[in-house]
Amino acid sequence: MIFILVSIEVCYNVMIIKNALLKAMLLTITVSWIPSSIAAPITTTALGHNSPTEYINAPYLPYANPKAPSGGTLSLDARGTFNSANKWMTTGVAMIGTDYLYDTLMTGSLNEAFTMYPQLASKVTYDPDDTSWIIYHLNPNARFWDGSGVTSRDVKATFEAILNKGPMYIRSYLSDIKDIQIINDQQVKFVFASADNKEILLTVGQFPIFAKSSIDTDFEKISLSPLMGSGPYKLGRVDAGRSVSYIRDPNYWGRDLMVNRGRYNFDMIKFVYYQSDEIAFEGFKSGQYRFRPENKASNWATGYNFPAVKAGVIKKESITSQNPVPVSYTHLTLPTICSV
């Protein structure tokens, strides 16, 4: 009788062990079938596409000088004319330099192929194995010129305006965006049509962000007043079709961001418009603007012998660059004479 009881207890324990093993096996099989994309999202402060994120912990970018002097005016030339401050709509001719008015979600460095660091966004969350989405986390300190905070609603409104009312080539460029979802005031999620285009995760971070209130009322207006921005400069004096100035904002919220330290040092940036390079060169000679990149070999060789250069008022300087540049050359076609 005692033997039977022991046998029953042993059998019962064996059944428990078998059931536990079976459950463990089923759990292992179930876990192994969970896609890795569900378990692998990461949050980071830098994004690189086939490019390193070398400066993710740097205090500033290596080519910038955080102790650079500030002040003064940078004046340059521009071509043509303008009648609008918004280059993101399909009508009007936008003034040059409007990028100074706006921040982007992230911004690149000049010596990395395709790497982005925080600007309006302080970090991103994405899944390296499922690039059909990305979440941008906005910096809670980000502010528009009027002091209002930059939120995910502004980001969503900006991209919807560009996708629905912007130039066709930009719509095509962003055509992989399937949806823009507001998670909360500081988090916005981009959902893409597929996971094939891995660059789109960084591409959406390169576009300027406007205030939703400004988009709702002014996006399609041809106006010399810009959409509300959060950038380091505000629009200054505008001489319609002839010149435009940008004034540095002393209250710029992002001046101490890693990507901005050592940048935006001029108090004013001014562009003077001309109809041709020849007229622009004459304007430079007479002091209408003060900085001129020269890309004409003939001008460089013989054009800078006017009095201001000889007096040292204008300094002619050759700056070495290791970046790829277009080649300027003269092609001669000589006539061929055939004798029979």
SS (H, E, C) 64-125: CCCCCCCCCEEEEEEECCCCECCCCCCCCCECCCHHHHCCECEEECCCCCCEEEECCEEEEE
With 70 as the cut, is the pLDDT of residue 239 above it? yes
Q: Where are the domains of the chain?
A: 12-39, 43-275
Residue 17: predicted pLDDT = 39
For the chain, what is the mean pLDDT? 87
Contact 46, 117 (CB under 8 A): yes
Q: What is the mean pLDDT of residues 89-97?
A: 95
Q: What is the mean pLDDT of residues 157-180?
A: 97
> Which residues pair with residue 190 across a beta bridge?
134, 180
Q: What is the mean pLDDT of residues 289-312?
A: 93
Residue 40: predicted pLDDT = 84
Instruction: Centre a 10 Å sphere on the Cβ of residue 300 and count the other Cβ atoms it contains.
Output: 13
Rounded Cα–Cα distance for residues 215 and 59 (Å)? 34
Residue 330: predicted pLDDT = 59
Residue 2: predicted pLDDT = 35
Where b means 16+ CB within 10 Å and e means fewer, 178-192 reads eebeeeeebbbbbeb
With 70 as the cut, is the pLDDT of residue 216 above it? yes
Which homologous superfamily does the CATH classification assign to the domain defined by 43-275? Answer: Periplasmic binding protein-like II (3.40.190.10)
Residue 14: predicted pLDDT = 38
pLDDT band at 66 (very low <50, low <70, confident <90, very high): very high
With 50 as the cut, is the pLDDT of residue 147 above it? yes
Q: pTM value?
A: 0.82
> Sign (positive/negative) of CA torsion 143, 148, 153, 158?
negative
Residue 178: predicted pLDDT = 97
Instruction: Centre a 10 Å sphere on the Cβ of residue 288 and count the other Cβ atoms it contains.
Output: 15
Residue 23: predicted pLDDT = 46
pLDDT band at 321 (very low <50, low <70, confident <90, very high): confident
Residue 329: predicted pLDDT = 60
At residue 335's C-alpha, the angle toward residues 329 and 340, to 5°, is 150
- Please classify residue 46 by burial: count the beta carbons closer than 10 Å to its beta carbon, then call 0-12 exposed, 13-18 middle and 19+ buried: buried
Q: What is the mean pLDDT of residues 225-229?
A: 97
Residue 26: predicted pLDDT = 37
